[in-house]
Amino acid sequence: MHNDVKEILVNEEEIKQIVARLGSQITEDYKDKNLLLLSILKGSVVFMADLIRAIKIPCRLDFMAVSSYGNNIKSSGVVKIVKDLDIALEGYDLLIVEDILDSGKTLSYLSEILLKRNPKSLKICTFLDKPERREANICADYTGKAVPDKFVVGYGLDYDERYRNLPYIGVLKPEVYEK
């Protein structure tokens, strides 16, 4: 698994620092609000597990699964909701938690759907941001780290459902996904 990684972009220590910084910011910004964290499965679950422990105010948690990649390395642009929310959004300050903001197509579509469900507010927190790849007019309110346009895996990010359990963010060797 580690042999498939060309280079490490974000090591374990930097991940901890990023999560602590974001948790502190979110704690301060939402201290008088009704926070609901929405984890977009599967990629963000590792980040969400760390982030929720770094937030020092009461909050709730829900999950949503969407698919726009399938087994491809680029988004198809067609978003399918695989698992919807269990909690109604009215009265909540919704914070979508994502692993990576890439083209923005999926997150833009999802934000539109969720806003129609009348949350008090909607913001986005992403661990990684690839601004070079943006195709939709969307940006995160909380960003862990901007990364270059390289195929990254680890810390929840995958290629073909593998590499999510790497404890760092690494660049996948092209020969792995260009087969």
Per-residue pLDDT tens digits for 110-132: 999 999 999 999 999 999 999 99
- pLDDT for res 77: 58
Count H helices and E strands in the chain, helices first: 4, 9
Per-residue pLDDT of 138-164, as tens digits, reads 999 999 999 999 999 999 999 989 999
Active site (annotated) includes residue 141: no
- pLDDT for res 70: 52
Contacts of 20-24 spanning 24+ positions with Cβ under 8 A: 20/54, 21/144, 22/51, 22/54, 22/125, 22/142, 22/144, 23/51, 23/53, 23/54, 23/55, 23/56, 24/54
CATH of domain 12-147: 3.40.50.2020
- Say which of 50, 93, 102, 129 is annotated catalytic: 102
